[in-house]
Chain A
Amino acid sequence: MVDLSINCGGIKSPNPFWLASAPPSNSAYQNCKAFEQGWGGTVWKTIGEPVMNVCNRYGSIDYNGEKIIGLNNIELISDRPIEVNLKEIAETKKLWSDRAVIVSLMVESKKEAWHDIVKRTVDTGADGIELNYGCPHGMSERGMGAAVGQVPEYCQMITEWVTEVSTIPVLVKLTPNVTNIRYPARAAKAANASGLSLINTINSIMGIDLDTMKIQPSVGGLSSHGGFAGPAVKPIALHLLSQVTSDPEINLPISGIGGISNWRDALEFILLGADSVQICTAVMHYGFRIIDDLIEGMTNWMEEKGYSSLNEIKGKAIPQIADFGNFNLLHKTVARIDQSKCIHCNLCYVACEDGAHQCIDLIPVNGHNKTQVREEDCVGCRLCAIVCPVEGCISMVRLDDAVSTKTWNELMKDFKRENKPLTWKNLAEFQKEHGIVIH
């Protein structure tokens, strides 16, 4: 039997899937509907300071016929009065005791204001608090959101104001719009946060209409950088997640967010150390019903692989995260083309010839060109395998003895010991010794 239940920093839910704090979690109506369909938790749309939204809030990128591979927004926090939100939160929690109800908060950077809202939130019976230090637009102009998340000292100070009065777990939601996400994460840890949520949206400009020259979205002729989310941000989110989960100084429970559309994406976040996952854009595109496949697909995968709880796989991919200096320079692969599968599109040839290292030949055979790798010249870059449209046609074949290793760091140590400076000549010697060819 597969059990998908999780505990993220003291917040429990029957499955790892939470609505991210955003339009889908705006109201009791929506959150209750989501719970009915099976969602494990919700992070209520951020509540706090009085705000007003504008019209034309979203922009999107479509790619080759696929709609919304990325979504950007210039929306603010909840524009419904705080009293209404708090009342609905309490009602929702009462109806759904087994689901996680987390309330996202953002008020001005004053101790009293934070103390007040934290207490009122705790009174609703909510399971946890999430601090929105991420809003990249609008709120940051008013000194909140990313303006806090980008300065580790502010991040620590405000988190302390919250944790000193909160009786429920506190997650700090990080902005990706920083040079090193480990600093705000460590600041949250220092302020006793129960866990972290990441990522919030990424600063972005979605594009310009070439006929009107208007930036989208356009608010009466003006536009602004908005927050970027959706499938396109997943690699960035995974990277930032790995930065946090591979830092032994941080070691906090994590709610992973950013571009999760299906159970496969969710599993990748969990493999990189997330306890729960949050989803916004996919719900905005397709509705709460995606939860059916999220739960079922993940359950079937676990069953097939013989896992019974998410703890067994959490963080399993983290040990692979390493510094470049520790990679084995002697690891040698070359591309091999399975001629029986080749459809003669020759994309590998042109990619290698113009975009890489000129080691695929076109050999005329029976009216078409056969692509053939000159293995002695192949640098093993993998570009051809990536552009090939046929599954399993080009594979990277390992040629080294799988025993010898020499990392850059080791090599530099060797050079130091042997009193060799790092010069092209000395490097060439090492390469020659190991049969490494450079193009």
Chain B
Amino acid sequence: MINSAPKLSDKEYEENFKELTPPFTKNGAVAEANRCLYCYDSPCKTACPTHIDIPGFIKKIATGNLKGSAKTILESNWIALTCAKACPVEDLCEGACVYNDKDEKPIEIGRLQRYAIDNYFASGMPKLFNSKDKNGKSVGIIGSGPAGLACGAELALLGYDVQIYEGSKIPGGLSTWGIAPYKVRQEDSLKEVELVKSLGVKIKTGIRIGESISIDELLTTYDAVFIGIGLGESSKLNIPGENLEGIVGALSFIENVKKEKWNSVNVGKRVAIIGAGNTAIDAATEAKRLGAEKVNIIYRRSEDEMPANKFEFRLAKDDGIIFHFLTSPTEFFGNHKVEKINCIKMRLGEKDKSGRRKPVAIKNSEFFIETDMVIFALGQQANLDFLNSIPDLKISNGCVIIDEKTYQTNNPKVFAGGDCINGGKETVNAAYDGKQAAHGIDNYLSNKK
């Protein structure tokens, strides 16, 4: 057993994991909706990867046409609740809002979207779209994350029989198992799953393709297959001591937190996170909110190169997370369990392939950081073993290669989207990919005689 942080009271846990942004009241939503200028050909719509008609759905909140508002949103994006609550809006729609150019507060687009979608779910998901008649064709989908769900929903409307296979017992992908609970709860993610099911999409959980069912079986059973398997666990560094107790990957740690049984998650008194992307920040803030007393983020480059966005960085700072920039771990020490990390100071050298300046170790600058737990958050790795087992797939840098328009892979029967083609972006990208891929599949199967 690691040296664990003391458990908190249920009330403290709930307070720590409560929603960052509370929902709008009716008055608040209408007032904010009326503040929207209802721009034409608006920058927010362009900035949204799924191109939701944002002024359109907001106008409908203003007039009280909430059902129409939800329809406008869902027409472009099936994963509308997760996106409303977890999209990095300041980098997307809200960042593009014209009010920014007037030096005024941008419209709270994410929160308004949530208002419309919450209402839609609360009113019992009334039918919004008419499906085409069944065309007798079927598509198998691997993975029930945002990409798989969006693809399935769209295909169902287009008249296909859709079967999703999900390895996990609970569907929803990282909306269910990854995104910080103070943004999205499992119940939110499961509402989206229910919506997709209501369109006729079937989901089998607890079935991992490549284990209980082979990929070949899938390819013979279905007219086309969509891969939306996302990515796997964070990579490690391959330095000595990595197998000590108390050293875990970010995804498994976060998955544990996402069970929402806070006091059964073991977190060290002192925690060190390796990496400084959004996942690293999530792991850090979640560790802190579980009661860790000291949380260090260790990152080999400087603040400027840090992949985490501003919002997440602020959040971590507010939570009292300590950042060690230009610092790289070289070895973990401990007696069975991790006790300290040997680190070395770095400086920035020449630019590397990614265009960022490459960190270079500074001689004789080594020092220790004491810790009870280490969480690796260095970027998720692709499920290469599985991907390589799919005939004719082309893979580069861990990403499945697809045609940008059709989302078709090198195997004409196989399409892919989401994190497994982009190496890990946002939910909204996966939602867009899935929907587009559905049309790619429809084109492919309609033209194939």
The minimal Cβ–Cβ distance linking A264 to chain B, given in whole angstroms, is 6
Residues of B within 8 A of A286 (CB): 38, 40
A262 at the interface (CB under 8 A from B): yes
A65 to B99, CA, bound (A): 13
A3 at the interface (CB under 8 A from B): no
Q: Is the CB of A293 within 8 A of B67?
A: no
B26, B27, B56, B60: most-surrounded residue (chain A CB, <10 A):
B60
A300 to B, closest residue via Cβ: B67
Cβ contact of B34, chosen from A66, A264, A290, cutoff 8 A? A66
Contact with A along B7-26 (1 / 0, CB 8 A): 00000000000000000001
A290 to B67, CA, bound (A): 16
B65 to A, closest residue via Cβ: A297
Cβ contact of B63, chosen from A65, A66, A264, A391, cutoff 8 A? A264
B185 at the interface (CB under 8 A from A): no
A296 to B59, CA, bound (A): 12
B334 at the interface (CB under 8 A from A): no
Q: Is the CB of A263 within 8 A of B26?
A: no
A297 to B, closest residue via Cβ: B65
Residues of B within 8 A of A300 (CB): 65, 67-68
Number of interface residues of B (CB under 8 A): 16
A265 to B, closest residue via Cβ: B63
A289, A300, A391: most-surrounded residue (chain B CB, <10 A):
A300
A384 to B393, CA, bound (A): 70
B25 to A, closest residue via Cβ: A391
Residues of B within 8 A of A264 (CB): 63-64
Q: Give residues of chain B (35-68) contacting chain A, Cβ–Cβ below 8 Å.
A: 35, 38, 40, 56, 59-60, 62-65, 67-68
Q: Is the CB of A287 within 8 A of B68?
A: no
Instruction: Count A-B contacts at CB 8 Å.
Output: 37
Q: Is the CB of A293 within 8 A of B60?
A: yes
Q: Is the CB of B68 within 8 A of A391?
A: no
A264 to B62, CA, bound (A): 11
The minimal Cβ–Cβ distance linking A332 to chain B, given in whole angstroms, is 29
Residues of B within 8 A of A263 (CB): 63, 65
A264 to B35, CA, bound (A): 18
Cβ contact of A293, chosen from B26, B34, B59, cutoff 8 A? B59
Residues of A within 8 A of B62 (CB): 262
A390 to B26, CA, bound (A): 11
Q: Is the CB of B27 within 8 A of A391?
A: yes
Contact with B along A278-303 (1 / 0, CB 8 A): 00000000110110110011001100
A301 to B27, CA, bound (A): 20
Given the known interface contacts A263-B63, A391-B26, A391-B27, the answer about A296 and B68 at a Cβ–Cβ threshold of 8 Å is: yes
Residues of B within 8 A of A289 (CB): 40, 56
Contact with B along A371-411 (1 / 0, CB 8 A): 00000000000000000001100000000000000000000
A267 to B427, CA, bound (A): 40
Residues of B within 8 A of A292 (CB): 56
B35 to A, closest residue via Cβ: A65
The minimal Cβ–Cβ distance linking A378 to chain B, given in whole angstroms, is 25
Interface of B is mostly: helix
Residues of A within 8 A of B35 (CB): 65
Contact with B along A156-176 (1 / 0, CB 8 A): 000000000000000000000
A270 to B168, CA, bound (A): 54
The minimal Cβ–Cβ distance linking B165 to chain A, given in whole angstroms, is 37
A203 to B40, CA, bound (A): 31
Given the known interface contacts A66-B34, A292-B56, A293-B56, the answer about A262 and B68 at a Cβ–Cβ threshold of 8 Å is: no
A292 to B58, CA, bound (A): 13
A293 to B57, CA, bound (A): 9
The minimal Cβ–Cβ distance linking B82 to chain A, given in whole angstroms, is 25
The minimal Cβ–Cβ distance linking A30 to chain B, given in whole angstroms, is 15
A300 to B127, CA, bound (A): 12
A296 to B128, CA, bound (A): 11
Given the known interface contacts A66-B34, A292-B56, the answer about A297 and B63 at a Cβ–Cβ threshold of 8 Å is: yes
B63, B67, B68: most-surrounded residue (chain A CB, <10 A):
B63
Given the known interface contacts A263-B63, A286-B38, the answer about A297 and B26 at a Cβ–Cβ threshold of 8 Å is: no
Residues of A within 8 A of B67 (CB): 300
A65, A292, A391: most-surrounded residue (chain B CB, <10 A):
A292
A262 to B62, CA, bound (A): 9
Q: Is the CB of A293 within 8 A of B63?
A: yes
The minimal Cβ–Cβ distance linking B68 to chain A, given in whole angstroms, is 4
A300 to B69, CA, bound (A): 11
Residues of B within 8 A of A262 (CB): 62-63
Residues of A within 8 A of B59 (CB): 290, 293
A351 to B310, CA, bound (A): 46
A263 to B67, CA, bound (A): 14
A293 to B65, CA, bound (A): 8
Q: Is the CB of A297 within 8 A of B64?
A: yes
Q: Give residues of chain B (212-256) contacting chain A, Cβ–Cβ below 8 Å.
A: none
Q: Give residues of chain A (177-218) contacting chain B, Cβ–Cβ below 8 Å.
A: none
A286 to B56, CA, bound (A): 11
A293 to B64, CA, bound (A): 10
A300 to B67, CA, bound (A): 7
Contact with B along A24-50 (1 / 0, CB 8 A): 000000000000000000000000000
B26, B27, B59: most-surrounded residue (chain A CB, <10 A):
B59
Q: Give residues of chain A (57-103) contacting chain B, Cβ–Cβ below 8 Å.
A: 65-66
The minimal Cβ–Cβ distance linking B39 to chain A, given in whole angstroms, is 10
A301 to B56, CA, bound (A): 18
A67 to B, closest residue via Cβ: B37
A174 to B65, CA, bound (A): 32
Please provide the 9 A-B residue pairs with the shortest distance between their CB atoms, ordered closest to farther. A297-B65, A262-B63, A296-B68, A300-B67, A293-B60, A297-B63, A391-B27, A286-B38, A293-B65
What are 29 A-B pairs with beta-carbon distances under 8 A? A262-B62, A262-B63, A263-B63, A264-B63, A264-B64, A286-B38, A286-B40, A287-B40, A289-B40, A289-B56, A292-B56, A293-B59, A293-B60, A293-B63, A293-B65, A293-B68, A296-B60, A296-B68, A296-B71, A297-B60, A297-B63, A297-B64, A297-B65, A297-B68, A300-B65, A300-B67, A390-B27, A391-B26, A391-B27
Residues of B that sit less than 8 Å from A by CB: 26-27, 34-35, 38, 40, 56, 59-60, 62-65, 67-68, 71
Known pairs A264-B64, A293-B68, A296-B65. 19 more at Cβ < 8 A?
A65-B35, A262-B62, A262-B63, A264-B63, A286-B40, A287-B40, A289-B40, A289-B56, A290-B59, A293-B59, A296-B71, A297-B60, A297-B64, A297-B65, A297-B68, A300-B67, A300-B68, A390-B27, A391-B27
